[in-house]
Amino acid sequence: MMEGIVGNMRIAFKFFSLLLFPILDVACNDSLDSYTLNKEGRLLFGLEKYQVTNVDGEAVPPQENMPANLRAKHRLDITKQVYDLIIRNPDPKSESEMKTYEEAVPLANGYTLKMVAIPGGEFTMGSPEGEKGRKEDEGPQRNLSIEPMWVCEIEIPWAVYRSYYTNGEARKDDGTLKEIEPDTPLTSLISQPTPQVKDMFVSGSFSSEDEYPAMNMTNHAANKFCQWLSAQTGHYYRLPTEAEWEYACRAGSTTAYPWGDDPAQVAEYAWYEDNADFTYQKVKLKKPNAFGLYDMLGNVAEWTLDQYKPDAYRTPVTTGFNWVEPETRYPRVFRGGSWKSKLSEIRSSSRQFSSTEELKWLDPQNPKSVWYFTHGQHVGFRVVRPMKTPDLNTMHKLWNTDEWTDKMNNEDWPTQ
């Protein structure tokens, strides 16, 4: 009887070995120790690390351990999938290899965004004490180094942003899908906006046509858009740091405006309080700066990655990234001024910041939306792509500086 049981066990084991054949190295005898995991099996059970290669067949270095303070750890698997797509496209080996290019966005009907190659360099951030319109938070001036990057020629328009915020999928308040199927595409797995509660276009007062800049999104919405865009294109996109933004805006200038110190020329370059007719305008109607970037000043203000701190420039720079890492949802920095700004607010060094009291005061939800403002028709963004692709943890951090947690959501409850 025992022999029969053993025989049946061997037959059963052989049957299961056929099912597991893709992950087993099977010898030509019946002994259990002759069945060993092959490479695929070792990968499956975590006994061997997956080696990613780029399109040139070059091995990509393995990632370091996850930092203890990394936000949105439960979403790291999504970032990993996007990361694996991105690192298959090798970075330029030097700044001289960087070229301006056009990026087609598949989910935006192939609309193309022109990404302008911007050389790295040093610049003086902030304004001198004698500059007209200067505020205390613009100083003291400091010298910073900026790495090479590509910067979007225009502010992200509705032609691209619309398919992101009107994604048409049932989502939880945090933007994750209510239901996930085995064939759900990666772009859908990325957190995306829920339907707006208040009409951001104010019954047609603000146009929703393709060539107008997208507006009224939170810093978090802009960050997740960057991840959504990256998943489609295989290139790493994010918001600029405040320092990167000012470097791109100045385009080598050291004056109050990118074109010089003469405010009389502002109408040639920017939409602002005196010429915008109380609303925003189509992108790319004014002159570009010396880097070839349009609407860096005026039209809609532009999000950066940074937490706003009035004394930020007094803090010594300790890393090459030159940013103020956010610890709270508010306040965050946006730059460039907008269609509703005074002349003094559209200088290269002028700083603005977000607050729930100013931008979300008509939102009836508790907590208020993590995706929209009710009074942010003057706030938009543009994207950048650094020449050097960062590691997985950095990529995840910069796409998740805000997240759906009680700590941050409590900032969006009405003041008691």
How many domains does the chain fold into?
2
> Does residue 111 sit in the same domain as residue 248?
yes
Average pLDDT over the chain reads 88
pLDDT tops 80 at residue 34: no
The pLDDT of residue 36 is above 90: no
Residues 95 and 38 both lie in one domain: no
Same domain, 10 and 140: no
The string of pLDDT tens digits covering residues 304-343 is 999 999 999 998 887 778 999 999 999 999 999 999 999 9
Are residues 221 and 310 located together in one domain of the fold?
Answer: yes
Q: Does the residue 57 lie in any domain?
A: no
Which amino acid, residue 414? Answer: P
Domain-embedded: residue 72: no
Of 293, 283, 286, 301, nearest in space to 253 by CA: 293
- 28/139 same-domain check: no
Residue 63 forms part of a structural domain: no
Terminal C-alpha separation, the chain: 78
Residues 39, 174 within the same domain:
no
**Measured between alpha carbons, how far is 281 from 19 in angstroms, rounded to an integer?**
62
User: Residue 188: is its pLDDT beyond 80?
Assistant: yes
pLDDT digits (tens, 9 = 90+) for 227-286: 999 999 999 999 999 999 999 999 999 999 999 999 999 999 999 999 999 999 999 999
Question: Do 88 and 19 belong together in one domain?
Answer: no
186 and 250 belong to one structural domain:
yes
Are residue 286 and residue 161 in the same domain, yes or no?
yes
CB 339 within 8 A of CB 281: yes
CATH number at residue 251: 3.90.1580.10
Residues facing residue 351 across a β-bridge: 335
pTM: 0.85
The 10s digit of each residue's pLDDT in 122-156 is: 999 999 999 999 999 999 999 999 999 999 999 99
> Is 49 a domain residue?
no
Residues 184 and 108 in one domain: yes
Do 94 and 12 lie in one domain? The reply is no
Q: How far apart are CA 241 and CA 324, in angstroms?
A: 8
Share of the chain above pLDDT 90, in %: 75
Residue 55, domain member (yes or no): no
Q: 265 and 398 in one domain?
A: yes
- Has residue 8 been placed in a domain? yes
| Residue in 238, 222, 380, 223 with CA at minimum distance from that of residue 321 | 238
Question: Residue 33 sits in which domain range?
Answer: 2-44
